[in-house]
Amino acid sequence: MEIGTYLIDIGDHFIDWLPETENKHKLMTTIKHFKENKLIAGLNIRQSSTFTIFISGEDDEYDDGITFDFYMHHEGQWRFGIQIVDKPVKSDLLDLSGFGYGRFMMAIMIYCLDFHIKKPTDMIEAGDQLTIGICADSSDGFWDHIGMMPGKYTMDTERRNSKTGPAGAGYDKEFLMGDWKRWVFDGLRGALKHKKPKSKKKRNKPKKHKKPKNTKRKKKSKNTKRKKN
Q: Give me the tens of pLDDT residue by residue for the chain, a chain 229 residues long.
A: 789 999 999 999 999 999 998 899 999 999 999 999 999 999 999 888 999 999 998 888 776 789 999 999 888 889 988 887 666 676 567 888 889 999 999 999 999 999 999 999 999 999 999 999 887 655 667 888 888 888 775 545 444 443 333 333 467 888 999 999 999 999 887 655 544 444 444 455 555 555 555 555 555 555 545 544 4
Q: Say what the pLDDT of residue 58 is.
A: 82
Is residue 71 within a helix (H) or strand (E), and if so which, with residue range?
strand 66-74
Give how far Cα 77 sits from Cα of 18, 71, 126, Å. Answer: 26, 9, 10
- Tell me the residue type at 126: A
In the chain, domain spans: 4-186
Q: Selecting from 3.40.630, 3.40.50, 1.10.3470, 3.30.70, what CATH number does the domain 4-186 have?
A: 3.40.630
Please enumerate in sequence order all residues whose Cβ is within 8 A of that of 115, keeping only pairs 6 or more positions apart, or say none. none
Q: Say what the pLDDT of residue 13 is.
A: 97
Q: Say what the pLDDT of residue 188 is.
A: 82
Q: Say what the pLDDT of residue 164 is.
A: 31
Q: Say what the pLDDT of residue 113 is.
A: 96
* Secondary structure of 148-207 as H, E, C letters: CEECCCCCCCHHHHCCCCHHHCCCCEEEEHHHHHHHHHHCCCCCCCCCCCCCCCCCCCCC
Q: Say what the pLDDT of residue 109 is.
A: 97
